[in-house]
Amino acid sequence: MSYTGPPLDPFDPFGAPPPRRSPLRRGLTVALAVLVPGALVGWLAYATFGPDGEGDGSGSARAATGSTSAPRWPNPGNGKSGLAAPSGSGTATDETTPSDPASSGKGSSGEGSLAGKVVVIDPGHNPTNVEHTAEINRTVDIGTHSKECDTTGTSTNSGYSEARFTLDVAHRLRTLLQQQGATVKLTQDADRPYGPCVDERARIGNAAHADAVVSIHADGSGAGNRGFHVILPGSVRAGAADTRAIVGPSKDLGKLIAADFAEATGTSPSNYIGGGTGLVTREDLGGLNLSTVPKVFIECGNMRDSKDAALLTSGAWRQKAAQGISEGIVSFLRG
Ligand code: ZN
């Protein structure tokens, strides 16, 4: 990685994460903001508002790229990206899985080209985690430290849960990838009472010898914080975690997904984390630390922002989101 600054979350490797808004965390946040000016305002807001959870607003985060590797975004700075009203009849309850071949864009031309390729989709959280707080609060070893098995995830202000969102996008993405001939496996499909735990989520991808893994999420940050970001694994070697072999290919995968996601959805990269690149590297996520195959997370938007929520609750928009993620994966697997 090109990052040469100081370690960003020096206490995390030594035990269970502290409470989110502990004085230590606040103090560290201020120190980090001084040390990492590129992430200053956005990270402060993120650390203040983001919920704890695997992928959603906790732990150390930094912009992943320098100026030479930032993706090119469609319609940069036009101020309207992602603001278009959701089309069609898509609503939060529109959770069928439309797979109109005509809407599958450039992906439809290469059916079968991913034969032999294995993609694991990891829908973040689980709709019934909320009923199993004791189970999901137990800690698991992620190599660098221990953290909760899983979390409930966030929701929109109107109550559409992140767990429902991630499953719906996962179903749409599975359909698109299967149309390309890929073998697709989900880490969970609301077919278990809770979890899997984050360590098991990683192991599922490893055991499948996946060529690519994507973990689907939506964030729970403050109102006004908008846009998507892709989370890349940092270089970690501690305990059972050793990401050195996957950092490079995961970054390639993440950059392709970010670019295609932006293009397919018309949304902009996060305005609160990642320095405008839409890419963030983290070393505190079990799902990444324990992966031995190329893997990224995507936070598709901020459920707590009303404009982002209007997109996230639209079935038509979720189809575009799945399309963008699919195209990034296809590009990665085709090399
Ligand atoms: Zn999440």
pLDDT, tens only, 9-32: 332 233 333 344 444 444 444 444
Distance 55 CA to ligand 1 centre (A): 5
- Stated pTM of the model: 0.76
Least confident of 47-56, 111-120, 185-194, 208-217: 47-56
- Which residue among the candidates 54, 148, 283, 299 is catalytic per the annotation? 299
Q: Which residues surround ligand 1, an ion (CB under 5 A)?
A: 55-56, 124, 153, 217
Q: What is the predicted pLDDT for the residue at 54?
A: 77
Burial of 244 (0-12, 13-18, 19+ CB in 10 A): exposed
Tokens (6 digits) for 240 = 């059972």
**Cβ-contact 248, 1 below 8 angstroms:** no
pLDDT above 90 covers a percentage of the chain that reads: 66
Is 321 or 35 the better-scoring residue by pLDDT?
321
Whether 111 sits among the annotated catalytic residues: the reply is no
**Residue entry with tokens 């689907």:** 216
Distance 167 CA to ligand 1 centre (A): 11
Instruction: Kindly state the average pLDDT of the residues 99-105.
Output: 42
Q: What is the predicted pLDDT for the residue at 262?
A: 98
Residue 87 has pLDDT above 50, yes or no: no
Burial of 282 (0-12, 13-18, 19+ CB in 10 A): buried
Distance 125 CA to ligand 1 centre (A): 6
Distance 112 CA to ligand 1 centre (A): 31
Is 5 or 98 the better-scoring residue by pLDDT?
98
Distance 193 CA to ligand 1 centre (A): 17
Domain over 104-334 is classified CATH 3.10.20.90: no
Distance 45 CA to ligand 1 centre (A): 18
Tokens (6 digits) for 301 = 């938007």
181-228 pLDDT, tens digit per residue, is 999 999 999 999 999 999 999 999 999 999 999 999 999 999 999 999
Is 57 or 174 the better-scoring residue by pLDDT?
174
Residue 178 has pLDDT above 70, yes or no: yes
Instruction: Kindly state the average pLDDT of the residues 82-102.
Output: 44
Distance 217 CA to ligand 1 centre (A): 4
Element (H or E) spanning 281, and its range? Answer: strand 279-282
